[in-house]
């Protein structure tokens, strides 16, 4: 079946995701490698970098099983997924939201539609689970949430059609990336810049300092193989030190922080973009 998509529609994230990179892409462009063959993204999240680059060969992974199932359904069963989302859109109200939120049963496609529906209607588009792995974000205040963006889902399906999508720990990228033909983009849970900024509810697993160091070691091993590595993280002394220790290049990026319980703590902050290489892509003037 040929999916018909308006020409003006371009691939971009179909999920809102905490820490998503859509607004930072323009700052990242000068630092992407000049060339590569195989693309890997071990913390997939909203997939903004993947959708921007549109690599011909990609392995996309994430530890979040619900997220990976959603991507697989968008890739493989987008028409059926859209039909279910239209039902959610027609029935959406407060009671319906909490009924869907509290019911995680169903087929893979029904589960994927549930995640997209909750993502479009919950507070700030957060993905947060409790200690039992149950989604627990309250209903957001939206007058007309875009629950079923049909064209966006179809063009995302086309972009994902050549990608391999798996649930996996980030270290599994070591099983695939081995040479200068490979480019790995890591967007991990950020190291907290304060005690109150520790957001680890992305999955049931916390991302600790030891995990950050394991990620650093994974990056070092990839770089030793000649793989081009790019990592983003918070502007913190700890992150600077562990990547300086392996002689990676560190650049400061300006980002807008929009998720914070206190409005006064939202605004422009610094983040780090870290690379193992200098052969940057330089766009034409």
Long-range CB pairs of 258-266, under 8 A, 24+ apart, other chains included: 258/124, 259/18, 259/124, 259/126, 259/199, 260/197
87 in a domain, yes or no?
A: yes
Among 155, 178, 204, the domain boundary falls at 155
- Comparing CA positions, the residue from 54, 22, 24, 51 lying closest to residue 36 is 54
- Say what the pLDDT of residue 63 is: 95
pLDDT tens-digit map of 89-140: 999 999 999 999 999 999 999 999 999 999 999 998 889 888 888 999 999 9
Identify each DSSP E strand in the chain by its residue range: 38-41, 58-62, 163-167, 182-186, 228-234, 249-257, 267-275
Number of structural domains (the chain) is 2
Among 135, 155, 175, the domain boundary falls at 155
One domain for residues 41 and 83? no
One domain for residues 93 and 56? no
Full-model pTM: 0.89
One domain for residues 78 and 127? yes
**How would residue 195 be classed by pLDDT, with cut points 50, 70 and 90?**
low
- The CATH number of residue 57's host domain is 3.40.50.150
One domain for residues 120 and 33? no
Among 136, 155, 174, the domain boundary falls at 155
Comparing 216-230, 253-267, 269-283, the range with the smallest average pLDDT is: 253-267
One domain for residues 112 and 142? yes
pLDDT tens-digit map of 142-189: 989 999 999 999 999 999 999 999 999 999 999 999 999 999 999 999
- The CATH number of residue 141's host domain is 1.10.1020.10
Domain that includes residue 240, residue range:
22-64+164-275
DSSP class per residue in 110-131:
HHHHHHHHHHHHBGGG---B-T
pLDDT higher than 80, residue 58: yes
One domain for residues 173 and 148? no
């Amino acid at each position: 079946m040929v999916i018909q998509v308006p020409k003006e529609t371009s691939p971009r994230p179909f999920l809102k995701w905490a820490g998503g990179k859509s607004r930072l892409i323009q700052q990242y462009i000068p630092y992407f490698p000049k060339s590569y063959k195989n693309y890997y993204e071990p913390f997939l999240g909203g997939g903004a970098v993947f959708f921007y680059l549109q690599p011909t060969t990609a392995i996309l992974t994430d530890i979040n099983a619900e997220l990976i199932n959603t991507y697989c359904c968008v890739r493989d069963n987008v028409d059926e997924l859209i039909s279910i989302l239209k039902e959610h859109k027609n029935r959406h109200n407060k009671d319906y939201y909490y009924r869907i939120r509290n019911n995680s049963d169903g087929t893979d496609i029904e589960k994927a539609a549930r995640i997209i529906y909750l993502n479009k209607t919950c507070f700030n588009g957060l993905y947060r689970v409790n200690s039992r792995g149950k989604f627990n974000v309250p209903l957001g205040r939206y007058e007309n949430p875009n629950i079923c963006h049909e064209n966006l889902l179809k063009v995302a399906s086309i972009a994902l059609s050549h990608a391999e999508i798996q649930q996996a720990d980030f270290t599994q990228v070591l099983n695939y990336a081995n040479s200068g033909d490979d480019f790995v983009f890591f967007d991990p849970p950020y190291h907290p810049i304060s005690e109150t900024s520790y957001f680890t509810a992305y999955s049931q697993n916390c991302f600790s300092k030891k995990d950050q160091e394991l990620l650093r070691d994974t990056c070092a091993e990839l770089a030793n193989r000649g793989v081009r590595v790019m990592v983003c993280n918070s502007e913190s002394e700890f992150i600077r030190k562990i990547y300086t220790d392996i002689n990676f290049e560190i650049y400061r990026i300006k980002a807008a922080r929009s998720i914070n319980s206190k409005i006064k703590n939202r605004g422009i902050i610094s983040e780090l973009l870290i690379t193992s290489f200098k052969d940057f892509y330089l766009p034409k003037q």
